[in-house]
Amino acid sequence: MSLPLAPTVTLRHGAEMPQLGLGTWPMNDAEAEQAVATAIQSGYRLVDTAFNYGNEVGVGRGIAASGVPRSEIFITTKLNREDHGIDEVRRAFERSATKLGVDTIDLFMIHWPNPDQGRYVEAYQGLVQLLGEGLIRAIGLSNFKPDHIDRVVAATDVLPDVDQIELDPTQSRPDVRAYLSQHGIVCEAWSPLGGQSSDLRNHPTIARIAEAHGKTPAQIVLRWHMAIGNVTMPKSADPERQRQNLDIFGFQLTDAEVHEIDGLDDGDSRLTDSDKFGH
């Protein structure tokens, strides 16, 4: 039995994107195929992958095996630094679409800006072309800082639909979120639960709020993301955990609880610096 579907957000170029989906890193093809199929059957309609994850074939097979029509699934994938360039982006699209077994990609993203290489503007121009041809429904950036975004918009006069950034309650990035909101760009959070090494789910504040609502700590953190307007895609291959992660729309956090969770922010010192890292 499937859960109610996640609400959607309307992207700048008209696509409807579910607010919560399934992340697939670091699953291999076999793991992704099974996880995606069970997640979709449980009610997920957003699946996030990337060329660099090495599991696009498995994601595509999982979507096909789910029994849910392709038209109801929102697929996100990302291109690598070697694909930065107008022609290269087209080849990257063709490669990913073939692996996924689809004709169109809902949200195609530049995975990292790689400013040392200096070609992310050309990559963005390639995405704009694909959007104009209807091969993708939305343009995405991943790990782009506001100055990176300013540069691609200045070159194209086209704002992106989404910026996917590292974000959780301990590094909530209010300045970047404010910039994205001001420009009508959806903020999508990766590593929404703080990553495997994080102790976020054991934090006393999260535990107390979880107990008050009869929910798990992970459900509280994910509901916080929804409350502040993020899209996010927690990764899990476990069917029960998948269902728990999606089962967060039957309750709401109070304004006071959201404010308490906001207070867990301890700065950006642990963030991956996209001026120095990328692939």
| Phi, psi dihedrals of residue 189, rounded to the nearest 5° | -95, 125
Alpha-carbon distance of 226 to 248, in angstroms, equals 9
Tell me, yes or no, if 124 is annotated catalytic. Answer: no
Which among 127, 148, 34 is positioned nearest to 76, based on CA atoms? 127
Segment (H or E) for 246: helix 239-246
The catalytic position among 44, 53, 124, 179 is 53
Contact 189, 170 (CB under 8 A): no
Contact 108, 139 (CB under 8 A): yes
Contact 64, 56 (CB under 8 A): no
Contact 199, 225 (CB under 8 A): no
Q: Which residues does the annotation mark as catalytic?
A: 53
